[in-house]
Structure 1
């Protein structure tokens, strides 16, 4: 990427967290049977961590105690800049009653039907982010219709 034509900014941690607070969804990355897998999830920031809901299954089992990555991205409202934030850390199921009760208020509504009664927390080891100018889309050239010939 040529920084002269596409200025990229490295985001400080506080800006990354602010962007994540407004992100509707992101992607959870983990390794299953030696292969990277990506899961779309909705997550919420909770005291410097991320919390998401899932069901009991491969995602929950493989994420438990594992190093994971979470990525979210978006475009600013005016469309001038895009951003991407990546968190790397360890995931674990929230099991203590007091901790679980403190996450109940988070607006974590599953996208697909079914029981999603496992709340998991990602404790970050690192958070990185960047933003960059969006390249304008060139005007489409008019292709003559068959009736124009």
Structure 2
């Protein structure tokens, strides 16, 4: 039976490993996630909007700590998730990021990748995955049934 978000979580408390194709489908359906990157001796976590281009992810960024961190250390992780009252889906991507040169930056024009804020962001970064993994969990949240007026 499908959940309101279209997922099929199964029974509460169950965990399902997503196939590679399911992970990529979920990545294509979403456009917002969190990027973890190194900057000097610290790990930073920042929200980004992104688009899938083949089997890699593209995002735009302005000059700053995120771009500096990626140029200094390409090792990154990226995560997206979605939850409803009955299920959670999560995909984690680990890989390397690189600033695309002018000869490749045009790739961002063929995918739905636009800046969410008023600031123009001309730097295009590609995240090339080495590992993509995903899980779907059925949730057991009994407190929802204890709230007066809460619909099942």
Which residue among 97, 114, 126 is the counterpart of 1:109?
A: 114
Partner of residue 145, structure 1: none
CA-to-partner distance for each residue in 1:23-51, whole Å, 9 max, x for gaps? Answer: 13000001223122111001111110000
Q: Give the structure 1 partner of residue 78 of structure 2.
A: 70
Determine which of 96, 99, 112 is the counterpart of 1:93.
99
1:141 Cα deviation from its structure 2 partner: 6.0
Aligned length: 136
Ranges in structure 1 where 5+ consecutive residues have no aligned partner = 143-149
**Equivalence for 1:35:** 42
Distance change >3 Å, CA 141–CA 59, structure 1 → 2: same
How do 1:1-149 residues align onto structure 2 when only pairs under 5 Å count?
6-64=13-71, 65-75=73-83, 79-97=85-103, 99-136=104-141, 137-140=144-147
Q: Structure 2: state its 5+ residue gaps.
A: 1-10
TM-score between both structures, scaled by the size of structure 1: 0.82
CA RMSD across the alignment: 2.0
TM-score for both structures, normalised by structure 2: 0.81
Larger radius of gyration: 1
